[in-house]
Structure 1
Amino acid sequence: MTSSKDIRWKQRFENFERSYKRLNKYASGSITNELERAGIIHFFEMTFELAWKVLKDYLEKEGFIVDSPRQAIKQAFQMGLIDDDHIWMEALEKRNMTVHTYDEETAKELTEDIVTSFLPAVRTLYRTLSEEW
C-alpha cells in the first residue's frame, strides 16, 4: 500500500527532476551574458528549493522530522543521500544571498559556483534519488 508521504516525495521528485534537467541543460552550454547568467541563477534557485524539499519529503517518508533546509541537508548527509554537506550548506547560503543581492560581479561568481560545485552536487542527489524511485 502506498502512503501519502510516499506519493508526496515522488511528486516532488518529478518537479525536482524537471528543474534539475533544465539547469543541467543550460549550465552545460556557454554562459556569456547577463541574461544567460540570470537564467542560470534562477534555475539554480528553483532547483535548490525543490532539492531540499524533496529531501525533506523523502526523509519524512523514512520517519524523520525535518523543519528546515539545514536539517534536511544534515540528515541527508548522515544517510548518505548527499556526499558533501559543506557544498550543500554553501549552496544554501548562496541561494539565500541571491534573493537579496544582484550585481554583475556577484552573478559571474555565483554562476561559476553553480556550474563547478553546486550542479555536480545536485546531479549526485538526482542520481541517488532516481535509484530510490
Structure 2
Amino acid sequence: MQSIANLEIACRMYRQGNMDIVQQAGMIQLFEIAWELGWKTMRDYLVTRGFTDGINSPTGAIRTAHKIDLVANAQAWLDAANVRHTLSHEYRPDRAAGALATIASDYLPLFQDLAGALNDADIASRDAH
C-alpha cells in the first residue's frame, strides 16, 4: 500500500535525525492515514470473509481480525488508535515528539505486518481457485 511506503520513507528520515517540524507533522499525518486505511482494510477483508457483526468500528474490526489471526497484536492496534486520536484532536508538540519514536518503532511494523498478511491471504485465495 502506498500509505505504508510513504510512512516508511518518513520513518527512515526520522531515524536519520534530519526532520524539521513540518516533516515531523507530515510523518504524523502519514501515520494517521496509514492507521485509518489499515483498520478500514481489515473491515473490508472481514466482510469478504462473511463477517458482519461488530466490525464497523475500529475496535470491533481489530478484535475480529485478531481472532482470525489477521493481526497478531490487537492491543498494539488499539494503542495506535489512542495515539492517533490524541495527535489529531489534542495536538501538543511535546506529545507529537514522543509519538514519532513510537510510530517508527511500534506502529509502522503493525501496518507492514497487516499488508503482508493481506498479501498472503490474497495469494492463498488465488491458489485455492
Q: TM-score, normalised by structure 1?
A: 0.83
Q: CA deviation at 1:103?
A: 2.0
Equivalent of residue 121 in structure 1, options 110, 118, 121: 110
Root-mean-square deviation over aligned CA pairs:
1.1
Q: CA deviation at 1:110?
A: 1.0
Please give the alpha-carbon distance, in whole angstroms, between the structure 2 residues aligned to 1:128 and 1:28.
23
The corresponding residue for 2:126 is: none
Q: How many residues align?
A: 117
Matches within 5 A, 1:1-133: 17-29=1-13, 30-31=16-17, 32-65=19-52, 66-133=55-122
Q: Which runs of 5+ in 2 are unaligned?
A: 123-129
Please give the alpha-carbon distance, in whole angstroms, between the structure 1 residues aligned to 2:20 and 2:68.
39
Please give the alpha-carbon distance, in whole angstroms, between the structure 2 residues aligned to 1:99 and 1:130.
29
Runs of 4+ that moved beyond 4 A: none
The corresponding residue for 1:13 is: none
Please give the alpha-carbon distance, in whole angstroms, between the structure 2 residues aligned to 1:83 and 1:43.
22
Q: CA deviation at 1:127?
A: 0.9
Please give the alpha-carbon distance, in whole angstroms, between the structure 1 residues aligned to 2:8 and 2:67.
26
Please give the alpha-carbon distance, in whole angstroms, between the structure 1 residues aligned to 2:92 and 2:84.
14
**Does the 8 Å contact 1:34/1:104 carry over to 2?**
no
Q: CA deviation at 1:71?
A: 0.5
Please give the alpha-carbon distance, in whole angstroms, between the structure 1 residues aligned to 2:35 and 2:69.
18
Q: TM-score, normalised by structure 2?
A: 0.86
Q: CA deviation at 1:33?
A: 2.4
